[in-house]
Amino acid sequence: MDLRKKRIYTYSLLVLTLVLSFGNRLEAIDGLTRNAFNARYEGLAGTNTALGGSAIDVALNPANLSIKKGKLLEFGATNSTIYTRYQDRFLDSNPQYVYSNDKKSAVNAPAPYIAFKTQVTENLNYGIAFYVSGGAKGGVDKITRNTPTGQTLNDWGDLALPAGIGDNPQVKESNSNEFAIARLVNGISYDFGKLSVGISIEGLYGYQRLNQKYYDLTGSVEVPGTGSYYESSKKSFALGGIFGLNYKVNEWLRIAYSYQAHASLPMNGHYTVGINNPAYYRTTGVSYFFNMPEKHSLGFAFGADNLKVGLDFVYTNYGSYLRKVTQRLEDPWLATPVGNVQAGDAQLNFRDQFAALIGLEHKISESWIYRLGYSYNTLPIKSNGLGGSTGGFFSLQHVVAAGFSYLFDKWSIDFGISYNGPRNKITGAKGTDWDLSHYIRTGPTSFNGLGYSYNAESSFVNVTLGATRSFD
């Protein structure tokens, strides 16, 4: 059998799908688009830039470490649940090629955080924080599709399965992805009176594993020589930085700005293609960088200590860093319609994102504080950035939130919950990486993909429970 022809579409965009999967699971706990990572700011829909008063400020706007004097410890965890629905279909004059998928899933992603700040001198404050900003385990399981060549399973996979299965051109495709990103942040803030200035250095660690498999139509027999496996090395570290300002105009108004610098994670690792196929006799190395975009935040805080309103405007420069990602293999095993190559480009097509956030915090007694919040976010991907792996995971648009704190002695028990909805459906465009990977190749230069269409949607529920301890 012609192995090259067999893999023209099986592997031509496999690397690209891998990169897209990275984005999908980050979003499971909003690792790219979420604006805060503790229970207090969760209840404010992420509003934080000018408010301050939390130890986690070292990772958001380090200038705010100066707002609350003394020592402060906070810790907790978020559980994010992402509800997704992926749909696609293929229409053709040949009824053997017609199929549709409608997959619903719910993925839970727990993520801890811990932060501590202390006052070094009258004007100098120091903070440190560790938190998981993205991670989950999931994927699209056993969706129906045609073989990339339009051949029967027996011809495409060089098998001898019985009639009804082996003579059918349709197979099942599965993608499973597991990854996490964690951050360790150290920072200082100096108070010049009405103006405080802060700077933080953050260390990022990333990890990822991905499996892609093909089965017969019953989903019970894996097609040999068609699977793939990727795992990043355990040395995926990068450095980033955060700069912040907070200016106290008067007793009821603060204006703040923070800048989070771009960080490039080297997600190098190893890659196995054509599992159980002697043509690929060993695992090959793969190298690529995943770029965390830079972010600008402008914030305003109004009111006194017992009643505060925060207003943030956030700009995230996705477009400069995530329009395209390139992966390079040590061996030229990446099959494309123009032959086997050693590097592949993923057309992610991210666009810059703008967000507006508002939060209300009201201390109604010595023991209780309640919070409300809302944020609106433009979509960082639209139809030309959608794939079966990204799904609707970047459809974070309307977020409503609420939360409270119960105070006793020097402790505070903090709770926050946010919801992104209603579901925002994105319909995939023609010519994307995912669209092309589901065409049928019917000849050396002829493709049948006009009948393929796909869409995805998602919603999120983030629940955060934490505690804060002051040492005044």
Does any domain span residue 68? yes
**Would you state the structure tokens that stand for residue 462, as one six-digit string?**
């983030």
Per-residue pLDDT of the chain (472 residues; tens, 9 = 90+): 444 334 333 333 333 333 333 333 333 334 445 667 899 999 999 999 999 999 999 999 999 999 999 999 999 999 888 888 889 999 988 899 999 999 888 888 888 999 999 999 999 999 999 998 766 666 678 999 998 888 899 998 888 899 889 999 999 998 777 777 899 999 999 999 999 999 999 999 988 887 888 999 999 988 988 888 888 887 789 999 999 999 999 999 999 999 999 998 888 888 888 777 777 777 889 888 888 889 999 999 999 889 999 999 999 998 887 777 777 888 887 665 555 678 766 667 778 889 999 999 999 999 999 999 999 988 777 666 666 555 445 556 889 999 999 999 999 999 999 998 766 678 887 877 778 778 887 665 566 777 888 888 888 899 999 999 999 7
Report yes or no: 148 and 9 within 8 Å, Cβ to Cβ: yes
* CA 32 vs CA 22, 29, 114, 317: distances in Å: 11, 9, 19, 11
Does any domain span residue 21? no
Length of the chain: 472
**Would you state the structure tokens that stand for residue 211, as one six-digit string?**
């499996």
**By C-alpha distance, which of 8, 59, 6 is closest to 35?**
59
Tell me what pLDDT residue 166 has: 92
Rounded CA-CA distance 165/169 in Å is 8
Residues whose CB falls within 8 Å of the CB of residue 447, separated by 6 or more in sequence, listed in order: 439, 440, 441
Rounded CA-CA distance 147/256 in Å is 55
Residues whose CB falls within 8 Å of the CB of residue 408, separated by 6 or more in sequence, listed in order: 367
Tell me what pLDDT residue 444 has: 55
Does any domain span residue 10? no
Phi, psi of 374 (to 5 degrees): -150, 140
**Would you state the structure tokens that stand for residue 344, as one six-digit string?**
């592949």
- Show the domain range for 351: 26-471
* CA 43 vs CA 134, 178, 419: distances in Å: 19, 28, 10
| Number of Cβ within a 10 Å radius of residue 113 | 24
Does any domain span residue 90? yes
Does any domain span residue 20? no
Does any domain span residue 323? yes
Does any domain span residue 401? yes
Does any domain span residue 402? yes
Q: Please give the helix or strand (H or E) that residue 175 lies within, else none.
A: strand 170-191
Question: How many structural domains does the chain have?
Answer: 1
**By C-alpha distance, which of 105, 103, 107 is closest to 30?**
107
Rounded CA-CA distance 166/158 in Å is 10
* CA 301 vs CA 135, 304, 305, 357, 404: distances in Å: 31, 9, 11, 12, 19
Report yes or no: 361 and 44 within 8 Å, Cβ to Cβ: yes
Report yes or no: 182 and 133 within 8 Å, Cβ to Cβ: yes
CATH number of domain containing 182: 2.40.160.60
